[in-house]
Amino acid sequence: MNPEDLRTAHAAHAPASYRDQYRGYTRYKRLVICALALVILALVVISIMLGTASLSPLDVIAALFGQGSEHDLIVVWNLRMPRILTAIIGGIALALAGCAFQSVLRNPLASASTLGISQGAAFGASIAIIVLGVGSSAAAYEGLGASNPYLTVLCAFLGAIASTLAILALSRFRDMTPESIVLAGVALSALFTGATALIQYFAQDTQVAAVVFWTFGDLGRASYREIVIMAVIAAAAFVFFYCNRWNYNAMESGEGTAHGLGLNVKRTRMLGMIVGAFAASSVIAFCGTINFIGLVAPHIMCRFIGNDYRYLLPASALAGAGILLLSDIIARMAIAGVVLPISAITSFVGAPLFLYLLMRGAHR
């Protein structure tokens, strides 16, 4: 009998007040998830409406159903919808990865940035742009190679995965604790950052500019083909994480309790880190560095619905999508005619919010 059946059986024999309390407990969490979905839907409509070419709500609805003028269809489906879909899928993938990292490593600061995944991707992109010569052409400023449009993406992805494999190898070789794994990630972050700076030191000005532009992050780089790739990886990651929701709940009680329940903690941790790294790396490779989404989204939802991963995983995914979508709206609308770097906006949005959450936790 799985934990859900045990919980249901226990609730069936519990007093009526306990059953009502449990139903209210789960109903509240479902309502929060539904509210997040409605907020994202509202942000999608707002994001389509706002821009250099303003559209009315009726124009947006007509364009979404393939009606309206040719101009409106081009603005909605060719210009704004790819950014919106990238923001939603990217936010989901980064938030899921952060939620999984924080669970399997038992560390609230675990994310793609603190584990060196983002820095490994930046190093891989630097190799493609500078060493392999992608940065010698104007196409480098779009993060694409002249001869192979996926060269920068591939190198960034391999760099991110290399960072994850290095951490896993160290943890297996030295039998490191979860705290030590996070510290190893911080050390690898510094190592990749130093290697990237060293490569840039010997590069041409245009190549350095291309690397810097890549690290800014840009949701407008991905076409529908890349969006499909990210969506498939994000969906597969969500299915994997949700199938392991009870394992993550068991790990919340400590490794000793999880072992007592028959859970292979090391295997769960390793698989969680690998799948999370693939989800985060796919977004970073296509969009560049995006900070704080995987760190902040799980913390926000944990304040609202607790650590039950049956609800925390989908809630964190939706929160990540909402934060990245809101950040993209701010990046496009803050200065007329200028699209600000998305990584800077997510940092400005995420850092104060994270500090606020830390202060509330310290106060309690």
| CATH code of the domain covering residue 169 | 1.10.3470.10
Its domain, for residue 324, covers 86-363
Per-residue pLDDT tens over the stretch 23-61: 877 899 999 999 999 999 999 999 999 888 888 888 888
What are the two backbone dihedrals, phi and then psi, of residue 124, each rounded to the nearest 5 degrees?
Answer: -65, -40
Is 24 inside any structural domain?
no
Q: What is the DSSP string of 35-88?
A: HHHHHHHHHHHHHHH-SSS---HHHHHHHHTT-S-HHHHIIIIIIIHHHHHHHH
How does pLDDT run across 254-303, given as a tens digit for each residue?
A: 888 888 888 898 899 999 999 999 999 999 999 999 988 999 999 999 98
Judge whether 153 and 143 are in contact, CB under 8 Å: yes
| Residues forming a β-bridge with 338 | 335
Domain count, the chain: 1
Residue 20 in domain = no
Residue 46 identity: I
Residue 248 covered by a domain: yes
Stretch among 18-27, 124-133, 243-252 having the lowest mean pLDDT: 18-27
How many CB atoms are located within 10 Å of the residue 222 CB?
Answer: 23
Q: Is the residue at 125 inside a domain?
A: yes
* Residue 130 counted as domain residue: yes
Per the listing, tokens 């779009």 go with 142
Q: Quick check: is 34 in a domain?
A: no
132 belongs to a structural domain: yes
Residues 191-247 have pLDDT tens digits of 999 999 999 999 888 889 888 889 999 998 889 999 999 999 999 999 999 999 999
CA distance 186 to 163: 11
What's residue 45's pLDDT?
Answer: 92
Q: How far apart are CA 159 and CA 192, in angstroms?
A: 9
Average pLDDT over residues 79-107: 94
Position 169 in a domain: yes
What confidence tier does 324 reach under pLDDT thresholds 50, 70, 90? very high
Any residues with CB less than 8 A from the CB of 165 and at least 6 apart, and which? none
Q: How many whole angstroms separate alpha carbon 182 and alpha carbon 186?
A: 6
